[in-house]
A and B are shown apart, each in its own frame.
Chain A
């Protein structure tokens, strides 16, 4: 979706005129730089140095589960309370709040899946300079230094992470607004109440700066009735040169240092025609950063939903390779170190230090805090056809028919905002979509589905039931004066429901019931767009920070709004089926924990080669912080792609988790068959490849749901000790077993893919050609090439009978691709369930483990107490890197033995076993002799 259209009301035109200025790029002037955001400017002005904070060791209290002690700022005598927890799974939690805040400060709710379980902390030693605590096993300790205050997490002799080592801890305490000059009677007596003392000292020593009590950006004034409340903390990561994460930014996978520009910003915004390779905020924000070197991976989860900026600096960033080498040779090198600093506008410091040590450990540590990827319905892993807009039911019918005519599979067709009656969500345009059930039934008859958009801005219209109910229940967000907040969005004047309220979310969820949402059927799913929230006439195209959610300002929780919309919508789809069907909901805005509610896409990209390229690091970054179900608009949303770009985008999208084509209203049509038979064939082939891999995709999503591991992952996650992988973001892995290097260059004649793993083998999935790992491989390409490799040592189940939709393929047989490694072994998994319900929670699924060793391929049950039957069988086994056997025997669970026929292609060492025929859920062995 775009941020505007020529069909918008006249008030918008003015805004448009300002916004557009006839260029295609983002108007950066619409969005704040750090200097334009008062708290960021204030905090960033504080330079590293001696921290004014001191730990008051005498206030230390250590219980079994936590340590608390007070910190004092020697400049203003304000006291803070530090809480330190050791959490299960090698996580340390550090919370810092004011000891006695003037009023409560916001602590982010609903993101952690539970109060994280703790582990005992024990005191190792203590003196006047600090305390040393044991963090359990692995000789991990946390050292609390008193003067100045700092925290060091140490394992053996290595410092893993230091907090406030650069003295950038900042905590703007809440204060009364002073309308007159400071009271001259300053008290400094010992023994007075610390809070009073603090306040007095404050008045003396802290000057009022611009932007503390009011701040203006462009024409918008932020009233800031609570005054300054920013927080800041620095983290030093000795030995670390690579940091990742903190999506969403249109930037490289490996984060850059920010010394010479703005910090990375996390503030969910509807950015029109975003620019690439910069730290500007986009639609979503997950305040999680991963740090990696050859020894260890760690993570920092900064649980704060206010506007946040992240500065990164490095002592090696400026050095050339030669410089680094010189350091090495001369032995004079200082240890490489990355320093990170987080600044948030409000709330408290609540940070989870995920101490790894492996990438997988960090994923599971983060998953233990915020949960894992929602397990999506199988069909949602198929291909999605979207456009703003399919004009009417006839249009939907003919596009659906077009897919059959051109024999291209798809599962979902999407309707954007024009399907509604005047941008009133939960309604249908009475002329263009007069009989939605008929339309949905037509799709259902072909085992296909639909997604219709439901945005969170509600048209202010007393003839609109949804609006009336929200208003009468007082469910709208309020403005600073207590009236319903109103902003401009698609429908014109709109209200924004307060999704932070559980009762509001419950009501919203109830609107998806079949008797409430007229025209909906079980194959209709939902898409939440504009949920940053987008407010066309608001500051930075979003909600005023002084708008009110109950007693909390929007400022405190801005980045959570989109998550709540997504949460309530997914809940609605869940409830309408009585809790049996897995919802499918796509969101544009997101936060930590959004992975629990569905899929995310990278917003309004453009039909440009650079946008195709950036889709890889953008989704990789999301995957690292738990959001596995990610995709970019195939073809590019704005502008019209060249045919070559469109084909390459399909080829790339076919190997990314969420695979949806989308296009702006003003672009020419681009259904896959509109570019001549040759290109139709290329697109068909890419989509068909996707469908053959659906069993693998499904298993990967199941795995992501179980473990939190990313589906689409950077190479370094699997090859953490290979520095050559650390900055790669033009190729990626799907699970462990597929390496994809899509062609993303215009006119490419070849690509160079890095195949990792010195002892690994990689098999081209198309030619079965074997390549050794640990090399840069040049691959000549044509328009039909999608360079994809299967790892030697893996077994991937595929379904080669591609049909109209994934549901049509449910009972089809599998082909097992067994790629042998240099030790002539391989293993893999197969997960099967009904594809759409929660019955897997009742153990109704099949989870097999395949292994090939000593010339025996076997299938064993990974979860013996499960129950599920499938009609699917194994029609073919293809063994890559095989030698020719003389005989192949299948032995079934009942002991029956059969000889199998096979073909052997000596040129590629490919053994194809014909029609073994066993049920996919059964135990069996196939022996090669």
Chain B
């Protein structure tokens, strides 16, 4: 059984003063009055009263553990270390005499045989130095912060002024766009009519050409069919073209052929005109393949060929781009989209080209029409340009409004981080923090960038909400959540990312130093906080 004295004589050094205080082991000075020798002790929760010799007798009598401040007997007790020279502390009773040095003044290990050294003075000195350093940094940081606040204030005013200007110019632009729209629409109406006229003329002309071509082909076919050159096509002659078999059952019978010929044995060139209309879809020239004899415009063959050639001419887009690259390009794609939007529609030219294929190119517009077109095009261009300018101004307004209304901290001290990026290079990766925008990670030696989250919110504890930033909805993890990043801000003179880690899979932690988080330093001159109880 463990034996030890109930009391310790404590010599405390506080400045020039030396005080002798006798009290039970493990009791802080603030509670000394509850432990009076030779008087019954009442548990601090008032639950019971015990003889004083049961205080620190290594048996737990009080439900709140207050009778054993200096032993490990109570599961819920606390042991007070004075730690002269450093900060006093409470440790759980379970750490008394467990062989591990917890109190820097070694008082917790009075009966365990643990070889503890008193390190309080050393710790106190170190802590003081550390605190001084922190205080200096805080002081300088706070100076910088004040500057940042000033700059942010100025910047905000500038932006507000700019917003006013831009909003004015937006009004001008809107008026301009409307005016140009009217000009454009006025010019487009006659243009449209002239173009339609021109097109109609061209369609009529094409019809004539097609008819002539058909007639010529019919004549040629008649000659081809008329094997015995007797000036008429007979049933037998027709039968030699098995592709004309009406029911395509593999046997082209006499009666079928006769049917095609309109019930007669043979037809001459005039009667053949009727027959031709029935067979021209199926007819295959004996001289095939002969490109000189193009099939009729609407024939399916034509379409097939067209499709093929279209594909051939379009083999530049690579359909097998891996998804990753797509992701990577997303941002640029967005920008590209806008460009596309402004460009004149490409379709028209395509259609024209297709038309050209058939009956030769459409003849150029006559001078009058062309003049109307040119005029309308000019009006369109001017309108588009004005509209583009308006959109740009609108974007500008949006961005300004967003920035002006953004929560950059109580005094906008974080505003200077907006549209900046900060990098940290580790063994494997380059981490990039763009405050209020996004966090990303890119392998140092090649490989695509991974989003670790985009700006979510300030996420510090209630009393210090601006101490933590949260970035969310980054690239998804395999079988896991989307990546996200917590950025912890600490006070410093510089603005720099000091460390990143991934404490949990796909949940990143970034340490970020900035003067903007520095607090006004409390006056530090009064010295050590370890005197609280003296």
Q: Which residues of A contact B (CB under 8 A)?
A: 6, 391, 395, 407, 431, 445-447, 665-669, 688, 800-804, 808-809, 812, 873, 875-876, 914-915, 917, 919
**Interface contact B100-A666, CB-CB below 8 Å:** no
Known A668-B507, A669-B503, A873-B1: A914·B95 in contact at CB below 8 Å: no
**Interface contact B481-A808, CB-CB below 8 Å:** no
**Interface contact A802-B501, CB-CB below 8 Å:** no
Chain B residues lying within 8 Å of A446, measured Cβ to Cβ, are 100
Which single residue of chain A is at the shortest CB-CB distance from B427?
Answer: A431
**Interface contact A801-B94, CB-CB below 8 Å:** yes
B386 within 8 Å of A by Cβ? no
Known A6-B478, A803-B95, A808-B99: A915·B72 in contact at CB below 8 Å: no
Return A808 CB to nearest CB of chain B, in Å.
Answer: 4
**Interface contact B59-A875, CB-CB below 8 Å:** yes
Which 10 residue pairs of A and B lie closest in terms of their CB atoms, listed nearest first? A669-B504, A808-B98, A6-B478, A666-B480, A915-B59, A803-B94, A666-B505, A668-B504, A917-B1, A803-B98
Q: Which of A665, A667, A803, A876 contacts B72 (CB under 8 A)?
A: A803
B 275-302 to A, binary, CB cutoff 8 A, 1 in contact else 0? 0000000000000000000000000000
**Interface contact A447-B73, CB-CB below 8 Å:** no
Return A686 CB to nearest CB of chain B, in Å.
Answer: 15
Complex-state Cα separation, A919 to B1, whole angstroms? 7
Which single residue of chain A is at the shortest CB-CB distance from B71?
Answer: A801
Complex-state Cα separation, A873 to B73, whole angstroms? 12
Chain B residues lying within 8 Å of A804, measured Cβ to Cβ, are 94-95, 98, 100
B231 within 8 Å of A by Cβ? no
**Interface contact A667-B100, CB-CB below 8 Å:** no
Chain B residues lying within 8 Å of A919, measured Cβ to Cβ, are 1
- Name 9 A/B residue pairs within 8 A (Cβ), A-sorted: A391-B501, A395-B503, A447-B99, A666-B477, A666-B479, A667-B505, A668-B481, A804-B95, A804-B100
Within 8 A of A (CB), among B43-100: 57-59, 72-73, 75, 92, 94-95, 98-100
**Interface contact A801-B99, CB-CB below 8 Å:** no
Chain B residues lying within 8 Å of A431, measured Cβ to Cβ, are 427
Complex-state Cα separation, A800 to B75, whole angstroms? 7
Chain A residues lying within 8 Å of B487, measured Cβ to Cβ, are none
Complex-state Cα separation, A915 to B60, whole angstroms? 9
Q: Which of B92, B94, B506 contacts A666 (CB under 8 A)?
A: B506
15 additional A-B pairs beyond A803-B94, A803-B98, A808-B94, beta carbons within 8 Å, are: A6-B478, A447-B99, A447-B100, A667-B480, A669-B503, A669-B504, A801-B73, A801-B94, A802-B94, A803-B72, A804-B94, A804-B95, A804-B98, A875-B73, A919-B1
B502 within 8 Å of A by Cβ? yes
Chain A residues lying within 8 Å of B427, measured Cβ to Cβ, are 431
Chain A residues lying within 8 Å of B57, measured Cβ to Cβ, are 915
Which single residue of chain A is at the shortest CB-CB distance from B102?
Answer: A404
Return A636 CB to nearest CB of chain B, in Å.
Answer: 14
Chain A residues lying within 8 Å of B59, measured Cβ to Cβ, are 875-876, 914-915
**Interface contact B505-A407, CB-CB below 8 Å:** no
Known A669-B504, A801-B75: A407·B92 in contact at CB below 8 Å: yes
Chain A residues lying within 8 Å of B98, measured Cβ to Cβ, are 447, 803-804, 808-809
Return A135 CB to nearest CB of chain B, in Å.
Answer: 56
Known A801-B75, A808-B99, A873-B1: A666·B478 in contact at CB below 8 Å: yes
Complex-state Cα separation, A812 to B58, whole angstroms? 11
Complex-state Cα separation, A666 to B505, whole angstroms? 5
Complex-state Cα separation, A19 to B525, whole angstroms? 67
Known A407-B94, A668-B481, A915-B59: A808·B503 in contact at CB below 8 Å: no
Chain B residues lying within 8 Å of A667, measured Cβ to Cβ, are 480, 504-505
Known A391-B502, A666-B506, A668-B505: A808·B75 in contact at CB below 8 Å: no
Known A446-B100, A808-B98, A914-B59: A801·B72 in contact at CB below 8 Å: yes
Q: Which residues of B contact A (CB under 8 A)?
A: 1, 57-59, 72-73, 75, 92, 94-95, 98-100, 427, 477-481, 501-507
Complex-state Cα separation, A917 to B3, whole angstroms? 11
Which single residue of chain A is at the shortest CB-CB distance from B502?
Answer: A391
Chain A residues lying within 8 Å of B481, measured Cβ to Cβ, are 668
Which single residue of chain B is at the shortest CB-CB distance from A20?
Answer: B479
Return A661 CB to nearest CB of chain B, in Å.
Answer: 14
Complex-state Cα separation, A447 to B112, whole angstroms? 14
Complex-state Cα separation, A668 to B98, whole angstroms? 34
Chain A residues lying within 8 Å of B75, measured Cβ to Cβ, are 688, 800-802
Chain B residues lying within 8 Å of A801, measured Cβ to Cβ, are 72-73, 75, 94
**Interface contact B100-A445, CB-CB below 8 Å:** yes
Return A900 CB to nearest CB of chain B, in Å.
Answer: 12
Complex-state Cα separation, A3 to B23, whole angstroms? 61
Chain A residues lying within 8 Å of B73, measured Cβ to Cβ, are 801, 875
Return B319 CB to nearest CB of chain A, in Å.
Answer: 21
Complex-state Cα separation, A166 to B57, whole angstroms? 73
Which single residue of chain A is at the shortest CB-CB distance from B61?
Answer: A914
Chain B residues lying within 8 Å of A688, measured Cβ to Cβ, are 75
Complex-state Cα separation, A391 to B509, whole angstroms? 13
Interface centre among A431, A804, A809, A873 (most CB of B within 10 A): A804
Complex-state Cα separation, A407 to B77, whole angstroms? 12
Chain B residues lying within 8 Å of A669, measured Cβ to Cβ, are 503-504, 507
**Interface contact B478-A812, CB-CB below 8 Å:** no
Chain A residues lying within 8 Å of B480, measured Cβ to Cβ, are 666-667
Complex-state Cα separation, A803 to B94, whole angstroms? 5
Return A840 CB to nearest CB of chain B, in Å.
Answer: 22
Complex-state Cα separation, A876 to B74, whole angstroms? 13
Return A70 CB to nearest CB of chain B, in Å.
Answer: 59
Return A664 CB to nearest CB of chain B, in Å.
Answer: 8
Which single residue of chain A is at the shortest CB-CB distance from B101?
Answer: A445
Complex-state Cα separation, A395 to B503, whole angstroms? 8
Chain B residues lying within 8 Å of A803, measured Cβ to Cβ, are 72, 94-95, 98
Chain A residues lying within 8 Å of B95, measured Cβ to Cβ, are 803-804
Chain A residues lying within 8 Å of B99, measured Cβ to Cβ, are 447, 808
Chain B residues lying within 8 Å of A812, measured Cβ to Cβ, are 72
Chain B residues lying within 8 Å of A391, measured Cβ to Cβ, are 501-503
Complex-state Cα separation, A751 to B396, whole angstroms? 65
Known A800-B75, A808-B100: A665·B94 in contact at CB below 8 Å: no
Which single residue of chain B is at the shortest CB-CB distance from A389?
Answer: B505
Complex-state Cα separation, A800 to B501, whole angstroms? 39
Complex-state Cα separation, A395 to B505, whole angstroms? 13
Complex-state Cα separation, A669 to B506, whole angstroms? 11
Chain B residues lying within 8 Å of A665, measured Cβ to Cβ, are 505
Complex-state Cα separation, A882 to B58, whole angstroms? 26
Return B87 CB to nearest CB of chain A, in Å.
Answer: 16
Complex-state Cα separation, A808 to B95, whole angstroms? 9
Chain B residues lying within 8 Å of A445, measured Cβ to Cβ, are 100
Complex-state Cα separation, A915 to B75, whole angstroms? 16
Complex-state Cα separation, A529 to B72, whole angstroms? 40
Chain B residues lying within 8 Å of A876, measured Cβ to Cβ, are 59
Which single residue of chain B is at the shortest CB-CB distance from A810?
Answer: B99
Which single residue of chain A is at the shortest CB-CB distance from B501?
Answer: A391
Complex-state Cα separation, A6 to B92, whole angstroms? 44
Which single residue of chain B is at the shortest CB-CB distance from A22?
Answer: B479
Chain A residues lying within 8 Å of B501, measured Cβ to Cβ, are 391, 395
Complex-state Cα separation, A876 to B73, whole angstroms? 11
Complex-state Cα separation, A873 to B3, whole angstroms? 12
Chain A residues lying within 8 Å of B479, measured Cβ to Cβ, are 6, 666
Chain B residues lying within 8 Å of A809, measured Cβ to Cβ, are 98
Which single residue of chain B is at the shortest CB-CB distance from A388?
Answer: B505
Chain A residues lying within 8 Å of B503, measured Cβ to Cβ, are 391, 395, 669
Chain A residues lying within 8 Å of B504, measured Cβ to Cβ, are 667-669
Which single residue of chain B is at the shortest CB-CB distance from A638?
Answer: B479
Complex-state Cα separation, A223 to B58, whole angstroms? 72
Which single residue of chain B is at the shortest CB-CB distance from A2?
Answer: B479
Complex-state Cα separation, A431 to B501, whole angstroms? 13
Return B59 CB to nearest CB of chain A, in Å.
Answer: 4
Complex-state Cα separation, A287 to B57, whole angstroms? 56
Complex-state Cα separation, A873 to B1, whole angstroms? 6
Return A901 CB to nearest CB of chain B, in Å.
Answer: 10
Complex-state Cα separation, A812 to B96, whole angstroms? 11
